[in-house]
Amino acid sequence: MAREPLIEFRGVTKAFGERVILDKVDLCIYERQVTTIIGKSGVGKSVLLKHIIGLLTPDEGEVLFRGKALSAMSGEERRAVKRQFSYMFQHNALFDSMTNFENIALPLREKTRMSETEIREKVMAKMSQLELAEVPDKYPSQISGGMAKRVALARALITDPAIVLFDEPTTGLDPIRKNAVLSMIAHYQKRFGFTAVLVSHDIPDVFYISNRIATLYERKFIFEGSPLDLEQLDHPVVEEFANSLQSLKDELTGLDTRRRFERRYLRGFAGSKSQGAIIVFRIENLGSVEEHVGHIAAQHVIQSLASIVDRTVGGAGYSARFSTDEILTVLPENGVREAENICKEVGRELKKLDVLQHKSYPRNCFNFSIHAGVVPGRQGADLKELAAGALARQRVLAQLECQNPERRSDIAQ
């Protein structure tokens, strides 16, 4: 049986004067998923978000919450729905004149009648969950950018919302910070189980954390589905989007995007007599780096691995980030033996890396490792199948185990 969406747009039309912004739009947002809305500037993404929170109402059609139309709800019911929402804005919107504690406590003071003791308990508990226990009395300007993002997220989560809306949370950040913020959102979304709705321009980065993507184009959704399906979609708008955002390269790693990679793969093997080889590089336990050292450090690990792979493979092949913690390499003209030599060389290079040295994390206790697996290529074989085959043969290239039972460090913030 199909799952009921948490939020559903049914034939929603919205115009300002003569100008139609949304034209009979349908959209489903499912509980406990990350749904990302992409579309060009001015297409109507914010107008759409405002319908979700009831700041705008449709001219035609309905917005439903757990199957019930907002328009059919009483004022009290609508307010109850509204209380389940929370937001995180582009520039955090923290008040500089308030301490981090006061910033996070603000929604509780504004929206609830909790006592001071209850507020203190709740805020301190949330700060501890988001690794902020040491900074309640500092001001936003006195902490790192990564921490300030976590303070903003803590404030968004303090009322235990069922849904958090993120309006372009990564605009203006460099690739490492951008990916760190996205992985932070994904991490806490899994941990707290809220439903996330993101509006973002940052494709392909946002693909790695989204369960569903909806693409708004000229008053309609032209696509709604998994990130992988969007990448496969043969529609001029996807092409246009990809080109206009220069997303032929993955910003974080400098490698091909999965889309370009798959095309190269299909073209590369089509006329080739050679069998070639496929390598999967995989970072095991990247989550423990995120948890113990920080999201930025985790992005450094991905970036470092990508640059070593790229350098080592050189002109012999091409690579792409295949998922959050996997890189796939195709060697069209080489066999398994050459591929294994490349893996060994990558392993040697990895061992020299700072991120894989104990001294980089003097106060933490965690472990992670980098693996690689190789399979021969096969004419016409599905890339995902080959990747799964390579994963089944993975071996450890390098690993780090830190056993110092100390707290999270701020080195990577």
Interacting residues with ligand ATP (CB under 6 A): 16, 21, 39, 41-47
> Considering the complex, what minimum distance in angstroms separates the CB of residue 39 from ligand ATP?
6
Q: What's the CA gap between 413 and 410, in Å, rounded?
A: 5
Q: Which is nearer to ligand ATP, 39 or 373 (CB)?
A: 39
> Considering the complex, what minimum distance in angstroms separates the CB of residue 47 from ligand ATP?
4
Q: Which is nearer to ligand ATP, 9 or 366 (CB)?
A: 9
Q: Which is nearer to ligand ATP, 15 or 266 (CB)?
A: 15
Buried residues in 384-393 as b, exposed as e (16+ CB within 10 A):
eebbebbbee
> Considering the complex, what minimum distance in angstroms separates the CB of residue 179 from ligand ATP?
20
> Considering the complex, what minimum distance in angstroms separates the CB of residue 236 from ligand ATP?
19
The values of phi and psi at residue 288, to 5°, are: -75, -30
> Considering the complex, what minimum distance in angstroms separates the CB of residue 145 from ligand ATP?
22
The three-state DSSP-derived secondary structure of 116-172 is HHHHHHHHHHHHHHCCCCCCCCCCHHHCCHHHHHHHHHHHHHCCCCCEEEEECCCCC
Hey, how many other C-beta atoms are within 10 angstroms of the C-beta on 238?
Answer: 20
Tokens of 237: 């708008």
> Considering the complex, what minimum distance in angstroms separates the CB of residue 21 from ligand ATP?
5
Give the CA-trace dihedral at 161, 148, 182, 126, to 10 degrees: -40
Q: Which is nearer to ligand ATP, 49 or 147 (CB)?
A: 49
Q: Count H helices and E strands in the chain, helices first.
A: 13, 15
> Considering the complex, what minimum distance in angstroms separates the CB of residue 44 from ligand ATP?
4
Q: Which is nearer to ligand ATP, 41 or 403 (CB)?
A: 41
> Considering the complex, what minimum distance in angstroms separates the CB of residue 212 from ligand ATP?
18
Q: What's the CA gap between 391 and 322, in Å, rounded?
A: 12
Tokens of 70: 């907002």
Q: Which is nearer to ligand ATP, 46 or 367 (CB)?
A: 46
> Considering the complex, what minimum distance in angstroms separates the CB of residue 347 from ligand ATP?
44
Q: Which is nearer to ligand ATP, 219 or 378 (CB)?
A: 219
Tokens of 268: 């590369």
Strands 163-167 and 195-199: parallel
253: nearest Cα among 333, 311, 187, 185: 311
Terminal-residue alpha carbon distance, the chain: 45
The CA-atom distances, in angstroms, between 31 and each of 66, 144, 187, 295, 345 are 9, 32, 16, 25, 44
Q: Which is nearer to ligand ATP, 39 or 276 (CB)?
A: 39
Q: What's the CA gap between 279 and 83, in Å, rounded?
A: 48
Q: Which is nearer to ligand ATP, 45 or 300 (CB)?
A: 45
Reduced to 3 states, what is the DSSP secondary structure of residue 56? coil
> Considering the complex, what minimum distance in angstroms separates the CB of residue 41 from ligand ATP?
3
> Considering the complex, what minimum distance in angstroms separates the CB of residue 345 from ligand ATP?
44
Q: Which is nearer to ligand ATP, 16 or 95 (CB)?
A: 16
Q: Which is nearer to ligand ATP, 90 or 274 (CB)?
A: 90
Q: Which residues contact 204 (CB under 8 A, 6 or more apart)?
A: 231, 247, 250, 257, 258, 259
Tokens of 179: 């990916």
124: nearest Cα among 102, 92, 95, 97: 102
